[in-house]
Chain A
Amino acid sequence: GIQVEQSPPDLILQEGANSTLRCNFSDSVNNLQWFHQNPWGQLINLFYIPSGTKQNGRLSATTVATERYSLLYISSSQTTDSGVYFCAVVWNTGNQFYFGTGTSLTVIP
């Protein structure tokens, strides 16, 4: 079936380290977003990126729609980056989001 897979499922980083999170999707999409769910449970929009590359401070994202994946880069990680990162897609055949299972990130001082 149609799937959204994220890797790695869990990640522990030392403060200051860089990381790359990956989202693979099994079909063509017309929308893709990255979210950060902080330890208080809030879902925060990071990027709306159905294709191309965007940067926002220490974070950047790249989606290669033709190859069905998206990457989220976190540079110089901070403890406040801890939480779960979700990728969510809207398939070309529909208009509702499907979420991946997330990457749980822990940044230790």
Chain B
Amino acid sequence: DAGVIQSPRHEVTEMGQEVTLRCKPISGHNSLFWYRQTMMRGLELLIYFNNNVPIDDSGMPEDRFSAKMPNASFSTLKIQPSEPRDSAVYFCASQKLAGVSSYNEQFFGPGTRLTVL
């Protein structure tokens, strides 16, 4: 199994530019999560999807952030316009749901290190 795949691994951009992060979950997993990790705030959940449907986006910082999951094998997290305070490592994770609630193991991708200058 290839695991969760994220791209790019590193992104450096200038303030005001649009940034798109990509994630391919593990095949067969039907729940996908986007997290952000910073020194100040640790690991934070931004949004998660069950069966391609956004369930909870309360962690998304503001309207500049948006996420989509057009199919079971692909998701994007977009920041437009980007700001220096968005600099962080963004992780994608996936798991296989078991019934209504989530009881199964969650697997993380390698992360995208974003630097906004």
Contacts and interface: CB of A to CB of B under 8 A. Distances in A.
B45 A35 contact: no
Contact of A48 (B33, B48, B91, B105): B105
Given A41-B110, A42-B108, A88-B43, 14 more contacts: A33-B105, A41-B89, A42-B111, A43-B111, A45-B107, A50-B103, A86-B43, A90-B102, A95-B101, A96-B33, A96-B56, A97-B33, A97-B45, A101-B42
Question: Is chain B's interface secondary structure helix, strand, loop, or mixed overall?
Answer: strand
B102 A35 contact: no
Chain B residues touching A, range: 10 to 19
19 contacts: A31-B104, A33-B105, A41-B111, A41-B113, A42-B110, A43-B91, A43-B111, A45-B105, A45-B107, A48-B104, A86-B43, A90-B101, A90-B103, A96-B33, A96-B45, A96-B102, A97-B33, A97-B106, A98-B45
B43 A30 contact: no
A9 to B, nearest CB: 12
A37 B113 CA distance: 15
